[in-house]
Chains A and B, each alone.
Chain A
């Protein structure tokens, strides 16, 4: 008898209800594996599906409890009640509050936190302001600040298809050599974002979350920091990451060859080759080794 071609992944998802910013929220959280907690943060205008490969990697799942959640307004998380009457804008404070609240709801003890793009920025804020809550931080495509280089209004206007334009804006941020299958899955996530959500996240990325003047205050003895950046990323450039590394004593950084802005999603196999040794180091540092 032939084995069934159907199979389940090890990822299990749940919905978490909790208040954020004083409002009830319904947050989608998924996880896989057991061991050192690793909390993963998606990019602007996307969702936790970007971490599908990390959450399916047997070597990682053997010793890490990998958790990813969708920010409010993103993926399978709901926007708060009354969303139709407001314009979504992510702030540093909202973002940090959401991450810490989810970590608390899951009773995570000093998790490692790994974020990409806006997630790579907020881990800098977390390392600076909440160092004792985290066992270490991994910034993917981390920069202290990005000036907007196009008119963000194009991302949310009824006469331009939001999914098409968001994918069009980010398509070149995928490394040119990344596999077609993963390139287009990554773009598909962008095509599915709700109206104005990508733009609202970029408020944090391009304005509110500017941390250039404060990054030198990150104490990597309290919260160790690793930075991984793709060489083809023109949003958060290798130079932006180098800027950080030059100002944060004890931070470790590496440029990932051939990769763009979405390493975990655009070329998972190549990315995992960079990530696994960093995770091993981070787990050791978290345990005080």
Chain B
């Protein structure tokens, strides 16, 4: 259900209300693609704030890097207490469940930031 879509409707607020998290991303400006199975999102970050989230399908999307995983894998990753191997972005990468593509500089230079941003849907009450 698009109405319940945490990434689309609630991610920006979940990030932007965390002053310290935004501060950690203060030098970060990027647009990245988050692919969750057949659903794609373009997420724009400006000085650590999530400026916009758009949901696909897209005709000619432009992004600096993409994070792609199956919907079932993201669902496990976003469960409140993920099982070993689903509990961290790098764990997903290690087990070949997550593919990171494109210009990875923003991701790797702000890895702790992106880990916290993408952990937001684990919060209590977050439904996907």
Instruction: Tell me if A232 and B94 are in contact (CB < 8 A).
Output: no
Q: Is B108 an interface residue (CB 8 A)?
A: yes
- The answer to whether the Cβ of B8 comes within 8 Å of any Cβ in the partner chain is no
Q: Check if A235 sits within 8 Å of B111, measured CB to CB.
A: no
Pairwise interchain contact B90-A159, C-beta atoms closer than 8 A = no
Given the known interface contacts A172-B115, A234-B94, the answer about A154 and B108 at a Cβ–Cβ threshold of 8 Å is: yes
Q: Which chain B residues border A164 with CB–CB below 8 Å?
A: 109-112
A176 touches B94 (CB 8 A): no
Q: Which of B91, B108, B110 contacts A172 (CB 8 A)?
A: B91
A171 to B90, CA, bound (A): 9
Are A176 and B87 closer than 8 Å at their CB atoms?
Answer: yes
B92 to chain A, nearest CB (A): 9
Docked complex Cα distance between A159 and B84 (Å): 32
Residues B105 and A160 in contact, CB atoms below 8 Å apart: yes
Given contacts A171-B115, A176-B81, A234-B88, A149 and B109 within 8 Å (CB-CB): no
Dominant secondary structure of chain B at its interface with chain A: helix
> Does residue A169 face the partner (Cβ distance < 8 Å to B)?
yes
Which residues from chain B contact A168 at a C-beta distance below 8 Å? 108, 110-112, 115
Contact status of A232 and B115, CB under 8 A, knowing A159-B109, A165-B108: no
- Chain B contacts with A in 58-84, Cβ cutoff 8 A: 81-82, 84
How far is A254 from B83 in the complex, measured between Cα atoms in Å? 19
List residues of chain B with CB within 8 A of the CB of A167: 112
The verdict on A161 contacting B109 (CB below 8 Å), with A171-B115, A234-B84, A234-B94 known, is: yes
> CB distance A165 to B109 under 8 Å?
yes
Interface residues of A in 153-210 (CB under 8 A from B): 154, 159-161, 164-165, 167-169, 171-173, 176
Q: Once the chains bind, are A160 and B109 in contact (CB under 8 Å)?
A: yes
Q: Which residue of A lies closest to B85 (CB)?
A: A234
Would you call A172 and B112 a contact (CB within 8 A)?
no
0/1 interface trace, chain A 217-242, chain B, CB 8 Å (1 if under): 00000000000000110110000000
Query: How many residues of chain B get a CB closer than 8 Å to chain A's CBs?
Result: 20
How long is the Cα–Cα vector from A160 to B112 in the complex, in angstroms? 13
What residue in chain A is nearest B96 (Cβ atoms)? A149
* B93 beta carbon closer than 8 Å to chain A: yes
Asked if A83 is an interface residue, CB under 8 A from chain B, the answer is: no
Q: Nearest Cβ in chain A — how far from B113, in angstroms?
A: 8
Looking across the interface, which residue of chain A has its beta carbon closest to that of B87? A176
Q: Which of B95, B108, B109, B110 lies in contact with A234, CB distance below 8 A?
A: B95
CB-defined contacts of A8 to chain B, threshold 8 Å: none
Q: How far is the CA of A167 from the CA of B95 in the complex (A)?
A: 20
Chain B residues with Cβ under 8 A from A165's Cβ? 108-109, 111
Closest B residue by C-beta to A230: B84
Do B91 and A159 touch (CB < 8 A)? no
Interface status of B11 (Cβ within 8 A of chain A): no
Give the distance in Å from the alpha carbon of A42 to the alpha carbon of B87 in the complex. Answer: 24
Residues of B within 8 A of A171 (CB): 88, 111-112, 115
- B90–A150 CB distance below 8 A: yes
Residue B89, interface by CB 8 Å: yes
CB-CB contacts below 8 Å: B15-45 with A:
none
Residues in A neighbouring B89, C-beta threshold 8 A = 172
Nearest-neighbor residue (CB-CB) of B122 within chain A: A176
Q: Return A44 CB to nearest CB of chain B, in Å.
A: 15
Name the distance in Å between A196's Cβ and chain B's nearest Cβ. Answer: 16
- Listed from nearest, the 8 A-B pairs whose CB atoms lie closest are A172-B88, A168-B111, A234-B91, A149-B94, A160-B109, A154-B108, A168-B112, A232-B84
- 16 more contacts with CB within 8 A, not counting A150-B93, A154-B104, A234-B91, are A149-B90, A154-B108, A159-B105, A161-B109, A164-B109, A164-B112, A165-B108, A168-B111, A168-B115, A169-B111, A171-B111, A171-B112, A172-B91, A173-B90, A234-B90, A234-B95
Q: Return 7 A-B CB contacts under 8 Å, by A number.
A: A149-B93, A159-B109, A169-B90, A171-B111, A176-B82, A231-B84, A234-B90
